[in-house]
Structure 1
Amino acid sequence: MSLTEILPPLLPLLVGVPLLMGAIGAAVRKNKRIRHAISLGTLAGLLAFSILLVVVTHDGTVLAHQVGMWDYGISIPFVVDALSSLVLMIISILGIASVLFAMATHEARARFYHPFVLVLMAGVAGALMTGDIFNLFVFIEVMLLPSYGLLAMMGAKLGAHGARIYVSVNLLASTLLLIGIALVYATAGTVNLAELRGAAVEDPAVAVAGGVVLTAISIKAAVVPVHGWLTRTYPMTSPAVTTLFSGIHTKVAIYAIYRIYSLLFDADEKFLWVALLVTSLTMLIGVLGAIGEKTTRSILVFHMISQIGYILIGVGLFTGLGLTAGIFYLLHHMIVKASLFLSTGAIEETYGTGEIDKLGGMLKREPLIAVTFMVAALSLAGLPPFSGFVAKFSIIQATLEQSHYWVAAVAVLVSVFTLLSMLKIWTGVFMGSAPKDLEERALTYQERMHGKRYLRVQAQAESPTLTIGPPTATMSAVLAGERAVKVPMKLIIPGMLLAAITLFFGLGAELLMTLSETAAENLLNPDGYVEAVSNA
């Protein structure tokens, strides 16, 4: 038997195994090492399976399975092609990186942290594989429930106001999504995506219903003008949770927009001008919002919104090159943004603040973090030889190909502002001299967060004064006046690995571009998708 015959019946395991391992992890009360091993092992298995799916689908193959062996049209179809397998692979990488970071900050010591993450990943896998829009809603809700749990674990740091916004907006969007799905079923008689192919083109009522669905998903994707919830919640969570959410929630919504427009609207050109207008506004408003922010994470969150605009240009063009560029940009952005969140998050977790005017001199103090941030920041700005250059060049080339010169102009302008924003973080956090009270504030923060007593040094010309200090600081170093605070290597490694991946994506762009081209072809011509579902 070939892999194309073996793999389809195994697709439900991508949902079932994380759910099962999450339940087992929740049952482990005291041994955090077992919970760590269960979580990382499950995520590694998910990554290995997704890589296998990428290999199998790289030539345009579509895998489909009717869950429960019910007949077509009744059962829940799971469908995997190049696009869904690529997104799942990148999300698995981000899941591992964010969990490693949470373990380093001791956030993952909480009993239910790993179970929440695994249930979240189960929902992601289901949302990426499902072949009908009702079960898309179900799996999005599976994603949201553990997300609420992760936010609740942040408690005092997030605050009731931010949590209320996150929950309220997502409940509203979910309600609107369910209404849209009900309207689709009422007008088209099915929610199966394969059966819905072209239904919105043939029937205006279905088009209206599909518009409601896309509006609800756009809220979850934080597309302008329904983006405000993102900037008022993500900066208030922990860096690990922000990294995880940035690579999952909005990106699954973007995937859904690509998939639904390809099938339900059959890439109908008469609606594309709306998408181009919205994406251009999203690019511009997102980057302009970043200019006035004063913390590293709030700047990066506004840039998330801006980059979402770039990604959705692929839908607005819906050409071979446009879709290829949009998909490449999606994959690149997930890695780069996570790397930036983790590198600045390492500083925040060590020095107790992400406020730019309270930091400085990190290039000298933390050279590895500086290099990691620089690689990801230059990639985000779109400079060669990083993946961001390939992504933005391809997007601009695709807009020019269709004579959308104004969209290309906005994309170039936004790239300039993006670079300026990255320079703002660079000069404020990494250049110059560190504030005199930086180390004192960092020690106070570490004592408050971890309940440890730290060594403080008051270096005097004649006789240094010693107080309590960190276990890792040697007495001779402290007496010599050396600093006691340093970002531990375990906080640096996750962001550094992701920065290395974006460099690989830039230097080896042909491989990822080829895979993105296959995914784009599946969207342009979904015959293979429809046939695989109907024959499963």
Structure 2
Amino acid sequence: MSGALLPLFVALPLLVSAVLLIVGDRRVLHAVGLLGTLLLVIAGGVWLVTDFAGSGGAVAHGVAQWPVGISIPFVADMFAALMLTVTGVLTLVCSWFAYASGRAATVYFAPLVLVLTAGVNGALLTVDLFNLFVFVEVMLLPSYGLFVLAARHRGTERQVMGARLYVTLNLLTSTIFLMGVGFIYGTAGTVNMAELAGRAATDGTVAISTAVCLFALAIKAAVVPIHGWLAVAYPATSPAITALFSGLHTKVASYAIYRIYAVVFDGDAHWLWIGVALCCLTMVAGVLGAVGEKTTRSILAFHMISQIGYILLGVALFTLAGLAAGIFYLLHHMIVKASLFLSTGAIEVRYMTGRIGALSGMATREPVITVAFFVAALSLAGLPPFSGFVAKFSLILAAVDTGHVIAVIVMLAVSLITLLSMLKILNGVFWGSARESSLENGGGSGAGGGPAARTAGSGAGTVPEPAPAARDDGAVATASGRRISAVLAGPAVVTACLTLALGLGAEVLMGVSTTAAEGLLDTSTYVKAVMDS
């Protein structure tokens, strides 16, 4: 692919978003515009992956051909191409789920998701730290809007608190990141990573300034000790938006940490022990936080924190094997976590609760969703033949090679507790027999017995009304008379099949992940592409 086409990954979603706002409330046109644009983004990502497969390399373009340091630079290598492809797939699948669940029934949904896509793509392709700040903000602004759309449907106190925390936390971290960018420019005279390549390894002031940016990104990625915000904020929105955010926000922050440390610090080994320690603590804090939770999404949100520790351990090891395993884990986790949120989200949308123990008998009433959850849960726990096994095993081998025995012990222990947490959800939601509740009897204020609840359960193919997306009152919801439609179950099934395919065909993904890792170990090609653009 020519580097001149890279700006289209940002420009096209923004243009289509503007057109959809102009045409007004034409839902079919909105769906076609959103899904068509996402398919083009995925196709572009696959094209780049194919170009870089085997030989690596990078392509770059400075908008309007301004010189380096002035132009808005875009650059893609194998790592960026893989992220573009997987984030595009997840956005497409989560948008599908949003339409199937009735959460996209607004004129603003498609434009907001497209602006979010433009911000994600820009953050993945930029080589300029200030532009990274800008694109992250472009990601966040529509995210706030998507939170508001969810609040229109429910508006519970918990959701308002989660939205407030999400906005406040991200405004704070954006301010910290911008301060770091300012410090870098004041000390180095540039914020272009190609011009900063290796500077932090030899210049202490640049190292400290860049560390401020890494600190802000670590908060956005939910790394210990500032990690609890994610477990409060993510479950507070709708299942569709939770799944979407799980595959984008923390993962873009993780990608940026990989990229900045590889280019600006040149993998400086002096600071890696800090990363290993934080990653181990994040694994433990996340998985222990999940133990006492009583809703499926809260448990999964804490596990997301735990898995961030695994993802970032790859860059903390900073060997070829460690980086390749970390990149593999990042891509695997984006798909598996979305699958878990989508399968439990389908149950939550149809049965109006996500509380453990408030449902039972899903294995007999909803066998397709049960299988999808079971596959993704085993993959998250790291059991063969799923992608999670390959990801964790590769990361363990990389940690053994570098002598980090404690990290290996932590990974194994956390994997066991993760499996137990997945069994908790299986036992509380899927096993057993369906039990009657006030939901069927129509009684009980706040128990979901009103008109909206009856609409949600009126038939197998009925799209539920948006209002009662979740009930956390502890009532037991019966399975009788309710079925999750194929359209609503589809996203969870597709992502579950993807994790199985990645496990069975792990050699292919590990091959491209190794190519991406080589580009991080030796950034000369990446830097040269930018400087020559």
Question: Over aligned residues, Cα RMSD in angstroms?
Answer: 1.9
Give the AA of the match of 1:502: T
Residue in 2 aligned with 1:495?
Answer: 492
Shift of 1:454: 6.3
Residue 24 (structure 1) shift: 1.3
- Residue 143 of structure 1 aligns to which amino acid in structure 2? M
Q: How does 1:100-115 map to 2 (within 5 A)?
A: 100-115=96-111
Partner of 1:373: 373
SS in 2 for 1:68: helix
Asked if 1:525 corresponds to 2:522, the answer is yes
Equivalent residue for 1:60?
56
Q: Which amino acid aligns with 2:416?
A: V
Using a 3 Å threshold, how does the CA distance of structure 1 residues 307 and 523 change in structure 2: closer, same or farther? Answer: same
Tell me the equivalent position of 2:349: 349
Partner amino acid, structure 2, of 1:269:
A
The CA deviation at 1:482 is: 10
Q: Report the equivalent of 1:86.
A: 82
TM-score normalised over the length of structure 2: 0.93
User: In structure 2, the residue corresponding to 1:78 is in which secondary structure?
Assistant: strand
Query: What stretches of structure 1 move > 6 A for 4+ residues in a row?
Result: 441-444, 469-472
Matched with 1:21 is 16
Letter in 1 for 2:360: G
Q: Shift of residue 203 of structure 1? A: 1.0
Distance 2:34 2:244 in 1: 14
Residues 312 and 441 (structure 1), Cα distance of their counterparts in 2 relative to 1, 3 Å cut: farther
User: Counterpart amino acid of 2:90?
Assistant: L
Q: How does 1:377-392 map to 2 (within 5 A)?
A: 377-392=377-392
Cα shift readout 1:462-511 (whole Å, capped 9, x = no counterpart): xxxxxxx8897xxxxxxxx9932111111100010000000000000000
For the 8 Å contact 1:352–1:441, the answer to whether it is kept is: no
Matched, 1:440 2:440: yes
Q: Of 6, 29, 35, which residue of structure 2 is paired with 1:34?
A: 29
Q: Percent identity?
A: 54
- Is structure 2 residue 431 aligned with structure 1 residue 431? yes
CA contact 2:150–2:237 (8 Å) conserved in 1: yes
Deviates more, 1:87-96 or 1:431-440: 431-440
Q: Indicate the structure whose relative CO is greater, using CA pairs within 8 Å and at least 6 residues apart.
A: 2
2:465 matched residue in structure 1: none
Q: 1:408 to 1:438 in 2, by over 3 A?
A: farther
Worse-superposed segment, 104-113 or 324-333:
104-113
Corresponding residue SS for 1:232:
helix
Letter in 2 for 1:141: E
Hey, what's the Cα distance between the residues in 1 that align with 2:62 and 2:210?
24
Q: Distance in 2 between matches of 1:313 and 1:470?
A: 44
1:258 aligns with 258
Asked whether the equivalents of residues 352 and 446 of structure 1 are also in contact (C-alpha less than 8 Å), the reply is no
SS of alignment partner, residue 357 of structure 2? helix
Match of 1:49 among 36, 44, 50: 44
In 1, the alpha carbon distance for the partners of 2:68 and 2:143 equals 33
Please give the residue correspondences for 1:500-511 in structure 2 after superposition, counting only pairs within 5 Å: 500-511=497-508
Q: State the shift of 1:141 in Å.
A: 0.2
Check the 8 A contact 2:3/2:59 in 1, yes or no. Answer: yes
Q: Which residue of 2 aligns with 1:419?
A: 419
Superposed counterparts of 1:8-407, under 5 Å: 8-58=3-53, 59-155=55-151, 156-157=155-156, 159-407=159-407
Whole-Å separation in 2 of the counterparts to 1:280 and 1:320: 20
Please list the CA deviations of residues 169-198 of structure 1 after superposition, one character each: whole Å capped at 9, or x if unmatched: 000000000000000111111100011011
Where 2:147 maps in the other structure, the secondary structure is helix
Paired residue type of 1:399: A
User: Tell me, what secondary structure is at the counterpart of 2:436?
Assistant: coil
TM-score by length of 1: 0.92
Offset at 1:452? Answer: 3.9
Query: 1:328 and 1:448, CA in 2 relative to 1: closer, same or farther beyond 3 A?
Result: farther
Q: Distance in 2 between matches of 1:451 and 1:181?
A: 53
Q: Does structure 2 retain, via aligned residues, the 8 Å contact 1:454–1:471?
A: no
- Could you list the per-position Cα deviations for residues 26-76 of structure 1 after superposition, in whole angstroms to 9, with x for gaps in the alignment? 223232111111100111111111110111122212010011211122111
Does the CA contact (< 8 Å) of 2:73 and 2:128 recur in 1? yes
The CA deviation at 1:435 is: 2.2
The residue number in structure 2 matching 1:458 is none
CA contact (8 A) 1:120 1:144 kept: yes
Unpaired runs of 5+ residues, structure 2, are 463-477
Greater CA drift, 226-235 or 512-521? 226-235
Q: Over residues 419-454 of structure 1, what are the superposed CA-to-partner deviations in whole Å (9 max), with x where a residue is unaligned?
A: 000000011111012221186289974965488496
CA contact (8 A) 1:358 1:438 kept: no
Q: State the secondary structure of the residue aligned to 1:432.
A: coil
Distance (Å, rounded) in 1 between the aligned partners of 2:460 and 2:276: 54
The letter of the residue matching 2:265 is F
Q: Which amino acid aligns with 1:326?
A: G
Q: Say if 1:76 and 1:135, in contact at 8 Å, map to a contact too.
A: yes
Tell whether the 8 Å contact from 1:447 to 1:454 is kept in structure 2 after alignment: no
1:289-331 deviation line (CA, Å, top 9, x unaligned): 0000000000000000000000001111000000000000000
Tell me how far apart the structure 1 counterparts of residues 209 and 146 of structure 2 sit (CA, whole Å): 33
Gap runs ≥5 in structure 1: 456-468, 473-480
**Structure number, greater radius of gyration:** 1
Letter in 1 for 2:64: G
Distance 1:292 1:522, change over 3 A: same
Q: How many residues align?
A: 511
Change beyond 3 A, Cα 1:233–1:487: same
- Structure 2 CA distance, aligned partners of 1:230 and 1:75? 35
